[in-house]
C-alpha cells in the first residue's frame, strides 16, 4: 500500500503549475460518445479516474488513444456494446456521465448504478428525472440503470433540474449531452453553473450542437441529427489551484501558481483574504499567495458555484485548525463530508462536528501522526496538515489522492516540502477501528 510520508514545518516557497481539471476532463471524454468523428482532448490530467473512464469508453466501442502525455484522441469504432460494467463504474462515480450520451446516440444504455461513497449517499435521481423528461424509459435492474429511447430518439422538453441542495453538476452535464441529439428544443432550468458545464457546452457546440445560455442556470438546446469531431483543451483545475493556495497559506509560505484560474476561484480567494492571506495577481499572470501574519478564523458555507466549493472544504478546515480563534465550516452540498475531522483531531486539532458543520477551534500547532485519507479532498487536507505539523506525518490510502492530483508529492517537493511516497507494507501494522 502506498503512503505519503511528510516531515512538516517548512513554509512552501517557489512556483508550481496547475494541471488540467479532472472534473472538466471527465464530462468532455464522456461527450466524445456523441460524436461521429475524431475528437482531440488536450491538457488531460494523467489520473486514475481518467484512465478508468477511458477504459469504459473502449468497452463501449470507442478507440481511445493517448497520443502524448496529456492528449487523448477518440474515434467511434462500434456501437454494439452500450454497457458500462459495475466493475469499472464502481471505481469511479463519474461513469454515470455515459448514461446520457449512450442513450441519446444509440437509443439505449445500461450503466451500473454508482452506489454511495464515503462522502454520503450521492443519489442519481436528478439524472434519471431529466432523461425521463426527454422521453427515456428507465428501469433499475440488478443494480443497473437500463435506459431506452422509444423509436431510438429522445425528444426535447422543458424541465427544472434543481434538487434539494441546489443544482447538480452531473445531472446537468448528463441531460445537456443527451439533449444535443434529441428531436426539438430542450430548456433546462436550474442548470448547474459550475465552469466545467460551460467548458462542456462550448465543446458540444464545436461538435455542431446548438446550446444557448451557457454559464447561466437556463440552458436552451436545439437538438441536431448528428455531431462531428472537435478539439478541446481542458482548462486548469480550479480545485488543485485552490489546494496549493491553501497549502501555501497554511504553511506561512510564499508560492507562485502558474495556470491558476483566478476567475473561477472568487469564493476561495475571498475566504483566504479574510483569513489574513495575501493573494496577488502578478503581471506575468501568475498568482502569488503569501502569508506573513497569523491566520484569522473565518466562517464558511459550501454552496454551488459561484459559492465556496465543497471540494475545497476539507483543505480549508486543515488550515483553520491553526487559526487564531474559532471558525465554523458548514456543508450545504454533502452534509456528511467531514471524515477528515477525526483524522485532523488525531494530529492535535480541535474540531467538533455539529450536524452539517465543523466547529474548528484553532490550536498553536499540529503534531505529525499516522492518518488515513477517506476520500480525495480529505486526503489533500491531511497532506496540508502534514506539511504544517511538527514531526512526521504518514498519510495512508494515497490512492484516494491519486484520483485527483497529478504527482502531488513531486509538486509539493518542488515547493520545498519534505514529502515522499513509500511503497510496501509499513513496518508497524495499522490496526485502526473502521
State the catalytic residues.
Answer: 117
Question: Is residue 123 involved in binding ligand UD1 (CB under 6 A)?
Answer: yes
Please choose, out of 122-130, 152-160, 213-221, 323-331, the segment that lies near ligand UD1 by the rule CB under 6 A.
Answer: 122-130
Which span (76-84, 134-142, 293-301, 303-311) binds ligand UD1, by CB under 6 A?
Answer: 303-311
Q: Does 168 bind ligand UD1 (CB under 6 A)?
A: yes
Instruction: Figure out which of the listed residues 311, 343, 375, 409 binds ligand UD1, where binding follows CB under 6 A.
Output: 311
Contact string 325-344 vs ligand UD1 (x = CB under 6 A)? --------xx----------
Cβ 200 to ligand UD1, closest distance in Å? Answer: 10
Q: What are the cell numbers at 66?
A: 493517448
- Do residues 355 and 400 touch, judged by C-beta distance below 8 A? no
Distances in whole angstroms, Cα of residue 49 to Cα of each of 12, 25, 93, 265: 28, 10, 9, 23
Footprint on residues 172-191 left by ligand UD1 (CB under 6 A): none
Nearer to ligand UD1, 69 or 164 (CB): 164
Piece of the chain touching ligand UD1 by CB under 6 A; list 157-165, 230-238, 274-282, 322-330 = 157-165
Looking at beta carbons, which residue is closest to ligand UD1?
170
Query: Binding residue for ligand UD1 (CB under 6 A) from 60, 64, 169, 320?
Result: 169
Q: Identify any residues that bridge with 52 across adjacent strands, giving them in sequence order.
A: none
Q: Which residues pair with 354 in a beta bridge?
A: 357
Q: Which residues between 204 and 263 bind ligand UD1 (CB under 6 A)?
A: none
Q: Which of 69, 139, 142, 164 binds ligand UD1 (CB under 6 A)?
A: 164
To ligand UD1, the closest distance from the beta carbon of 163 in angstroms equals: 4
Q: Which one of 104, 136, 171, 257 is in contact with ligand UD1 (CB under 6 A)?
A: 171
400 contributes a contact to ligand UD1 by CB under 6 A: no
- Applying the rule CB under 6 A, the residues between 25 and 84 that interact with ligand UD1 are 26
Q: Does 310 bind ligand UD1 (CB under 6 A)?
A: yes
**Site residues, ligand UD1 (CB under 6 A):** 23, 26, 94, 122-127, 163-165, 168-171, 192, 196, 309-311, 333-334
Amino acid at each position: 500500500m502506498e503512503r505519503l510520508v511528510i516531515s512538516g514545518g517548512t513554509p512552501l516557497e517557489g512556483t508550481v503549475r496547475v494541471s488540467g481539471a479532472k472534473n472538466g476532463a471527465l464530462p468532455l471524454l464522456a461527450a466524445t460518445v456523441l460524436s461521429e468523428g475524431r475528437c482531440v482532448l488536450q491538457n488531460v490530467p494523467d489520473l486514475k479516474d481518467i484512465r478508468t473512464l477511458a477504459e469504459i469508453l473502449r468497452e463501449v466501442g470507442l478507440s481511445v488513444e493517448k497520443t502524448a502525455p496529456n492528449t487523448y484522441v477518440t474515434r467511434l469504432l462500434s456501437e454494439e456494446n452500450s454497457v458500462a460494467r459495475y466493475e469499472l463504474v464502481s471505481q469511479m462515480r463519474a461513469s454515470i456521465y455515459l448514461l446520457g450520451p449512450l442513450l441519446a446516440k444509440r437509443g439505449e444504455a445500461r450503466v451500473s448504478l454508482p452506489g454511495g461513497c464515503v462522502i454520503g449517499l450521492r443519489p442519481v435521481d436528478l439524472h434519471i428525472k431529466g432523461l425521463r423528461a426527454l422521453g427515456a424509459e428507465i428501469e433499475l435492474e440488478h443494480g443497473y440503470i437500463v435506459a431506452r429511447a422509444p423509436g431510438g430518439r429522445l425528444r426535447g422538453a422543458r424541465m427544472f433540474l434543481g434538487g434539494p441542495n441546489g443544482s447538480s453538476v452531473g445531472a446537468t452535464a448528463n441531460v445537456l449531452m443527451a439533449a444535443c441529439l434529441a428531436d426539438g428544443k430542450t430548456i433546462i432550468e436550474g442548470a448547474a453553473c459550475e465552469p466545467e458545464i460551460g467548458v462542456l457546452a462550448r465543446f458540444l457546440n464545436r461538435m455542431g450542437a446548438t446550446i444557448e445560455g451557457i454559464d447561466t442556470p437556463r440552458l436552451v438546446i436545439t437538438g441536431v441529427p448528428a455531431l462531428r469531431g472537435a478539439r478541446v483543451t481542458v482548462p486548469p483545475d480550479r480545485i488543485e489551484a485552490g489546494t496549493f493556495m491553501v497549502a501555501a497559506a497554511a504553511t506561512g509560505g510564499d508560492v507562485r501558481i502558474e495556470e491558476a484560474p483566478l476567475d473561477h476561484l472568487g469564493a476561495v480567494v475571498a475566504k483566504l483574504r479574510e483569513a489574513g492571506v495575501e493573494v496577488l495577481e502578478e503581471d506575468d499572470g501568475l498568482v502569488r499567495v503569501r502569508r506573513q501574519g497569523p491566520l484569522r478564523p473565518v466562517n464558511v458555507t459550501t454552496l454551488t458555484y459561484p459559492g465556496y466549493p465543497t471540494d475545497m472544504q476539507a483543505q480549508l478546515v486543515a488550515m483553520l485548525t491553526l487559526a487564531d480563534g474559532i471558525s465554523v465550516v458548514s456543508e450545504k452540498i454533502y452534509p456528511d463530508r467531514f471524515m477528515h475531522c477525526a483524522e485532523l483531531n488525531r494530529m492535535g486539532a480541535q474540531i467538533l462536528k455539529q450536524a452539517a458543520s465543523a466547529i474548528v477551534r484553532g490550536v498553536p500547532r499540529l503534531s505529525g501522526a499516522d492518518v488515513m485519507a477517506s476520500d480525495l479532498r480529505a486526503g489533500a487536507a491531511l497532506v496540508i496538515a502534514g506539511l504544517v505539523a511538527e514531526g512526521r506525518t504518514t498519510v495512508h490510502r494515497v490512492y484516494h489522492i491519486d484520483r485527483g492530483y497529478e504527482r502531488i508529492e513531486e509538486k509539493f517537493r518542488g515547493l520545498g516540502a519534505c514529502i515522499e511516497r513509500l511503497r510496501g507494507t509499513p513496518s508497524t501494522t495499522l490496526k485502526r477501528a473502521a
